Amino acid sequence: MTAEEIFVGETDNVEFKEDIPARSEKYMKTVVAFANGKGGKLIFGVENNTWKVTGFTKEEVFQKMDAITNAIFDSCEPKITPNVGVQEVDGKAIIEVEILPGMPRPYYIRSQGILDGTYIRVSGTTRHAERYQVQELILEGQNRHYDCEPVEDLTLTEEDITKLCANMKEMAIRNAVSEVEKAKVRDVTKNTLLSWGVLSEKDGAVIPTNAYALLTGRAQVQPVVQCGIFKGSDRAYFVDRREFKGSIQDQMEAAFQYVLEKINRGMTIQGVQRQDMYELPLDSVRELIANSIAHRSYLEPGNIQIALFDNRLEVTSPGMLLNGVSIAKMKEGYSKIRNRAIANAFSYMKIIEKWGSGIPRIIRECKEYGLPEPEFLDFDGDFRVNMFRQTTSNVKGISDTKNETNDTKNDTNETIAMRLIDENPAITQKEMKEKMGVSLATIKRLMSNLQKSGKIQRQGSSRSGKWLIADPKE
């Protein structure tokens, strides 16, 4: 380490010690934390507050190096073998101890035991690992995934499996962007779910996993997605709040629709076609929410929080980045799967795209939209993304309109619906949904209101009938 690097100060993976503490546990916590994380360096012979190089004499430096090596080897479980070297800075000898990230996690201080002696690095500090974090380290060290772990106390029938398969296929078709893509959606079978890890086998019997419980809303403690609107740029004043329950894929869709309703948009109408242009790129908003659900830590008891401020959309998901993953790597398209079964299921349902491509695409779409690059934060056990807002008047090609009132939306939708019916009386509600760019629930509510007000009538059956526009003179 050079003098220039020392003057930068301590970082997430560099810590200074003026001397070797009399009690080795004082620095052994950092040693195991480095091994449990991304690795790091302990520099002995530098004051940690002033960054002053105190160093060691030539007579004592090698003795201290041996003492450090022996203490690490004797105190840690599993065994940690450090890279220990000596370097001269400003004419003084300092000891550099490099700890590489280990595989057989968790590493812990043997005398304290696995639960009390496991430590991790959070925001440049060494902290005692919570019980769920120890569990996650154990799974990671064994190359296992929490969502693929079996849930033996959850009942499972062939009818349950068939229902989940049908629901997943229905969502995959609904999320397909073209008729050609819809036609390519394949069936999901029991064997498919087994290969993904949504189901597992034990003693010849098929049993559900945590992924199955989450995808069906049957987890013992089913997480929720919390959404909120705040006035200003902090959490001081709530404007609105919602909490979405149920299966995680339904939570994702509900949270996305909530954000859609709350952000600003402009509107253009070409003929009978309505085109909404929002202040944020919708594909990126959807990707952020989907990623937060697919890649969060389900061992951590917290919930996903989606907060809309005057200046940003903030998506926070429980769980720090996995070892080997950094924000810089993510921006380059690197991905490491935390929940293998859920990622497979979400990919099939077209909720998330190819693994690793999401973050670069979000950055690119925000740039094309004229927005600042999103902010990515790995802190305090959570991962957060801030997507910065702008008003619709600043978006190229969008008329200067804010969020429409419900009355304005309904009037506009009614006008477009009446035009569509006039052009094609046999039009289906699904066809209207695609042409108008709104949800099927909105279409059903709209058509019901039009019938109640006497503006339209239905002639014939729901499948082969047609719509009739009432004569205003009658």
The rounded radius of gyration (Å) of the Cα atoms in the chain is 28
Query: Does residue 222 fall inside a structural domain?
Result: yes
* Residue at 290 is within a domain: yes
- The answer on 91 and 190 residing in a single domain is no
For residue 352, give both structure tokens: 């998330």
Asked if 376 contacts 330 with a C-beta cutoff of 8 angstroms, the reply is yes
Per the structure, the count of domains in the chain is 3
Q: What residues contact 286, with CB distance under 8 A and at least 6 apart?
A: 256
Grade residue 397 by pLDDT with cuts at 50, 70 and 90.
very low
Residues 396 and 301 grouped into a single domain: yes
Q: How confident is the model at residue 356 (pLDDT cuts 50, 70, 90)?
A: low
Query: Which pLDDT score, from 0 to 100, does residue 270 have?
Result: 56
Least confidently predicted of 32-46, 63-77, 216-230, 258-272: 258-272
Does 455 share its domain with 392? no
Last residue of a domain, one of 143, 172, 200: 143
- 23 inside domain: yes
Q: Which of 263, 291, 279, 260 is nearest to 359 (CA)?
A: 291
With 50 as the cut, is the pLDDT of residue 407 above it? no
pLDDT at 290 over 90: yes
Tokens standing for residue 434: 């695609």
Decide which of 316 and 9 is more confident.
Answer: 316
Residue 405 clears pLDDT 80, i.e. is over it = no
Q: Residue 441 above 80 pLDDT?
A: no
> In angstroms, rounded to a whole number, what is the distance separating the alpha carbons of residues 397 and 345?
37
How far is CA 144 from each of CA 60, 125, 137, 138, 381, rounded to the nearest angstrom?
45, 27, 10, 8, 20
- Look up tokens 């070409």; give the residue: 270
Cβ(450)–Cβ(419) under 8 Å? no
The pLDDT value recorded for residue 393 is: 43
Between 400 and 267, residue with greater pLDDT: 267
**Which of 143, 169, 196 marks a domain boundary?**
143
Kindly state whether residues 74 and 180 are assigned to the same domain.
no
Please, which residues have CB within 8 angstroms of residue 424's CB and are 6 or more apart in sequence?
431
188 CB burial (10 A radius; 0-12, 13-18, 19+): buried
Tokens coding 291: 């990623």
Residue 7 has a CB neighbour count (10 Å cut-off) of: 9
Q: Is residue 289 domain-shared with residue 417, that is, in the same domain?
A: no
What is the pLDDT, as a whole number, of residue 273? 61
How confident is the model at residue 277, as a pLDDT?
A: 78
304: CATH? 3.30.565.60
Both structure tokens of 387: 């997507």
Task: Pull the structure tokens for residue 80.
Answer: 């940690």
pLDDT at 409 over 50: no
Predicted local confidence at residue 384, as pLDDT: 96
In a domain, 323, yes or no: yes
- pTM greater than 0.85 (yes/no): no
Least confident of 84-88, 112-116, 414-418: 414-418
Cα 383 to Cα 319: distance, rounded to the nearest angstrom: 6
| CA gap 241, 332 in Å, rounded | 35
Average pLDDT, rounded, for the chain: 87
Cβ–Cβ < 8 Å for 277, 394 = no
CA–CA gap between residue 11 and residue 49 (Å, rounded): 12
390 plus 421 within the same structural domain: no
Quick one: which of 277, 308, 266 has its CA closest to 403? Answer: 266
Q: What tokens appear for 43 in the block? A: 């520099």
Q: What pLDDT was estimated at residue 398?
A: 45
Q: In whole angstroms, what is the distance from residue 365 CA to residue 286 CA?
A: 12
Whether residues 166 and 139 share a domain: the answer is: no
For residue 347, pLDDT beyond 90? yes
Amino acid found at 439? S
The pLDDT, as a whole number, for residue 400 is 41
Q: Which residue has the higher pLDDT, 424 or 317?
A: 317
Residue 89 falls inside a structural domain: yes
* 182 and 266 together in one domain: yes
What are 7-62's pLDDT values in tens digits?
667 778 899 999 999 888 889 999 999 999 989 999 999 998 888 999 999 889 99
Q: Which of 308, 276, 285, 314 is nearest to 392 (CA)?
A: 276
The number of helices, as runs of H, and strands, as runs of E, in the chain is 17, 20
In this structure, are 13 and 55 located in the same domain? yes
- pLDDT above 50: residue 401: no
In a domain, 189, yes or no: yes
CATH number at 116 reads 3.30.950.30
Q: Which pLDDT score, from 0 to 100, does residue 433 have?
A: 76
Higher-scoring residue by pLDDT: 182, 49: 182
Alpha carbons 87 and 97: distance in angstroms, whole number? 11
- What are residue 83's DSSP bridge partners? 98
Task: Return the structure tokens found at 293.
Answer: 């659900």
| For residues 224-228, average pLDDT | 96
- Please state, in angstroms and rounded to a whole number, the distance separating the CA atoms of residues 47 and 17: 6
- Residue 263's SS3 state is coil
The predicted pLDDT at position 321 comes to 85
Residues 280 and 138 in one domain: no
Burial 373-385 (b: 16+ CB within 10 A, else e): ebebebeebbbbb
| Lookup result for tokens 């999103």 | 374
The helix or strand, by DSSP H or E, that contains position 293, with its residue range, turns out to be helix 282-294
Give the model's pLDDT for residue 22: 87
Q: Give the range of the structural domain holding residue 110, as residue numbers without chain letter.
A: 3-143
pLDDT on residue 470:
80
Q: Is 331 exposed, middle or buried (0-12, 13-18, 19+ CB in 10 A)?
A: middle
- Residue 413: name the closest of 253, 270, 272 by CA: 272
Residue 434 makes CB contacts below 8 A (sequence gap 6+) with none
Tell me what the mean pLDDT of segment 115-123 comes to: 92
* Domain end among 143, 158, 188: 143
Contact 72, 148 (CB under 8 A): no
Residue 297 shares a structural domain with residue 384: yes
| Residue 472 CA, distance from chain mean position | 52
CA distance 383 to 327: 10
pLDDT tens by residue, 246-289: 999 999 999 999 999 999 887 655 555 666 678 999 999 999 99
Does a structural domain hold residue 474?
no
Residues 19, 149 share a domain: no
Q: What CATH number did the domain enclosing 410 receive?
A: 1.10.10.10
Is 278 part of any domain?
A: yes
Residue written as token pair 């068939």: 162
